[in-house]
Amino acid sequence: MDASGASARSTSSADGCAAGERRRHIETRDTGIIYTAAVIFPSTIVDWSGFLARPGMAPPTRSMLEGLRKAPILVLGAGGSIGSALALRVAALEPPKLVLLEASESHLDALQRQWAQARIAVPTVFHLGSVADRSLLEEIFALHAPALVFHAAAFKYVPLLEEQPLAAIENNVFGTLTLMEAAAGARVLLLSTDKAVEPASVLGATKRVAEQIVLSAGGAALRLGNVLASRGSVAEVFAHQIAAGGPLTLTDPTARRYFLTLDEAVNLLLSAALEPEPPVLLAPTLPDPHCIADLARFMIQELAPGHTIPVDVTGLRAGDKETETFWSAAETARPAKNQGLLSIASPILARGKLRSALVQLRTALEARDLPGALHLLQALVPGYTPSPAVLALAAANTPRVPA
């Protein structure tokens, strides 16, 4: 996400990224109510094609998806925006059983109510719990024997995780490791992010380690960009800010991101699950990234036509980069088997070195030793550049000495 509620340092017209231009002027704010509809998922009221300015990515055909109907499927993080949309699509395939795990009580409750309202007949088992709960995962695999696992359970908010790096390591790294150790021969597809490429954030670094864990165990990972109107996304933040009459908070007028719709994200996950030769690291085939300032302007036009909404430039937050990419200079990409996907050749640590580093990282985590954990995270992800905020947090940290 690239919007922030922080107090503004300057004000911009959000008129694009050209030449890094930063025009400073204050726009007149309309004092009336701009947009009063409940803002939960703006994808239901916004036609994103006008912003994306490209054809929608083609979904996999029903015949292509036939293979996913043969065995139980497990979705982790099933109450999130992507997880719940994916769960509904998987249910439409009518697998013999669908198992849904979610750590948030409110999100799981909402998912169960959605299931009841849709009258979904597929045998479905709901579990409230964490991906880091080894006993729960072992029970799920013993009872339900899922053959395919979509791993969408992660902490994902960049600024928050810069303040809570140990929690990010616990959930994103060791939750993934716990899953792979419990998976018992199931195929695992990790939902990753472009922020894992030469990361500048704890989120990106922990997701890169998660990629290595999954790939070294024979699974697959899919890097996605920013999913429009997913919970907590910049589009949802902009919609709430427009509803309040502004201002929209823009981190940087030059910032660019890859954007795709929620439907496209689900289609890509289903297509990735069909790739025949794991371990494989995948990414979408997308044209150039979009300017976030253009998204702000587009949403103002869509949700508040005829009104003037101020846009405040707040500056890049801890962990933010100006532009994200889907692969690094050390990686190479080629077309994957399924349309819309790229297969990325990516160097990963040898299994022995990875295992040893994770043991040391677990020791640092249990001791609440942030400097040690950060050092090990950099060893696991050589391209990781910690933010000044995380370095300052580590410098102020006093590890707990075991009794």
C-alpha triplet 138, 141, 142: angle, nearest 5°: 80
pLDDT tier at 63, thresholds 50, 70, 90: confident
Q: Two tokens at 377?
A: 């995270």
- What tens digit of pLDDT does each residue of 308-355 get? 899 999 999 999 999 999 999 999 999 998 889 999 999 999 999 999
- What tens digit of pLDDT does each residue of 206-230 get? 999 999 999 999 999 999 999 998 8
pLDDT at 10 over 80: no
pLDDT average, residue stretch 13-22:
46
Q: Which residue out of 70, 97, 195, 207 is catalytically annotated?
A: 195
In the annotation, is 156 catalytic? no
Q: Hey, what's the torsion of the CAs at 313, 390, 169, 154, to 10 degrees?
A: 0
- The Cα 319–Cα 333 span in angstroms is 25
pLDDT at 26 over 60: no
- The Cα 319–Cα 329 span in angstroms is 20
pLDDT average, residue stretch 72-76:
97
Nearest to 294 by CA among 228, 196, 198: 228
| CA 400 and chain centroid, separation | 31
- The Cα 320–Cα 312 span in angstroms is 17
Lowest mean pLDDT among 59-68, 72-81, 171-180, 328-337: 59-68
By the 8 A CB rule, do 234 and 226 touch?
yes
pLDDT average, residue stretch 163-183:
97
In the chain the domains, ranked by start, together with CATH numbers, are: 59-245+257-286+327-345 (3.40.50.720)
β partners of residue 257: 290
Q: Two tokens at 270?
A: 């289903």
Q: Two tokens at 379?
A: 């060893």
pLDDT at residue number 402: 55
Considering the chain, what percentage of its residues have pLDDT values greater than 90? Answer: 77
- The Cα 398–Cα 403 span in angstroms is 15
Q: Is 305 exposed, middle or buried (0-12, 13-18, 19+ CB in 10 A)?
A: exposed
- What tens digit of pLDDT does each residue of 238-286 get? 999 999 999 999 999 999 999 999 999 999 999 999 988 778 999 999 9
Q: What is the pTM of this model?
A: 0.89
- The Cα 290–Cα 296 span in angstroms is 11
pLDDT at residue number 103: 97
